[in-house]
Amino acid sequence: MSDPSDGIMPPALPAIDGEQHHHQQHVVHHEPAPLPLPENPQPVVKRNKKVPLTPREAVEAFAQRGIYVDSKTGSLRCSCNHKPSHKWDLYGYTRHFTFKCHKKYEETMMNEEEVKRLVEAKEMYFKMFPVVTESNILRKRKRAFLTGEKNLTTEEVRNQEKHWMTMWKDAKDELRKLRDELRLETDEEVRNELMKDIEGLKNKKDDWAKLLGLNE
C-alpha cells in the first residue's frame, strides 16, 4: 500500500535571520566596464605661471587699446568696462582684446575725445613715474658693474637682470602662442589683430634683449 504523502513536498521553512544575512553577503555587484580610452589622448597643456605686467609695461604696450592707470586708486583698468586689469599677464591682455565687450568699445567709443583722454592719462602716469630711456638704463647698468655709480649694488643689478630675463622669456613664449593661434585662425579680421600683436610683442622682446645685452 502506497504512502499518501508520496510526491508531496513539505512546505519550505522560513529562512533564519543569520542565514539570510549570510546569503546576502555573497551577492556580487559587478562594476560597469570602464569606457575605452581614446586612441590618441590629447596631453593636458599647462600654462606657465602668470607674470602680471607692471603698470608701466601695460600702459606702454596697450594705452592705445584702452588701458590706463586710474589716478584716484592707482589701479590698472581697461576702458571698455573700467574693471581692474592689474593681475593680467601678456596673454590676459591679448585675450581680453578679442572679447565682444572690448571690440564694441573700440568700434563705437574709440573716438577723438577718447583717444585724447587715453593719451593724457598715459602722459600723467609717466610724469608721476618718470621713464628712464633704455639707452640710459644700459649706460647705468654698465657703469654700475665697473664703478658702482648710482649706488646700484650687485644684488640690485642681479635682481634687475633677473626681471629682464623673465620678461624676455615671457615675451618669447607669448610670441609662440600667438603664432600658433595665427596658423589656426581663419577670420581675416582676427588674423590682422594677431599680426599687429605679434609685431608689437617682437619689438618688446627685442627691447628686453637689448637690456640683457643679447643683441650686442
What string of DSSP letters covers 45-94? PPPPPP-PPPHHHHHHHHGGGTEEE-TTT--EEETTT--B-TT--HHHHH
Q: What is the pLDDT of residues 139-186, one digit of tens each?
A: 555 555 444 445 556 666 677 777 778 888 888 888 888 888 888 888
> Which band of pLDDT confidence, cut at 50, 70 and 90, is reported for residue 216?
very low
Q: Give the pLDDT confidence score for residue 125 in this predicted structure.
A: 83
Q: Which of 54, 82, 77 is CA-nearest to residue 67?
A: 77
> Which band of pLDDT confidence, cut at 50, 70 and 90, is reported for residue 29?
low
Whether 135 has a pLDDT exceeding 90, the answer reads no
The Cα 116–Cα 159 span in angstroms is 36
The Cα 168–Cα 54 span in angstroms is 14
Whether 20 has a pLDDT exceeding 70, the answer reads no
Bridge partners of residue 84, in order along the sequence? 77
Q: Which residue has the higher pLDDT, 114 or 142?
A: 114
Return the C-alpha cell found at 188.
Answer: 581675416
> Which band of pLDDT confidence, cut at 50, 70 and 90, is reported for residue 9?
low
> Which band of pLDDT confidence, cut at 50, 70 and 90, is reported for residue 201?
confident
Q: Give the pLDDT confidence score for residue 210 in this predicted structure.
A: 77
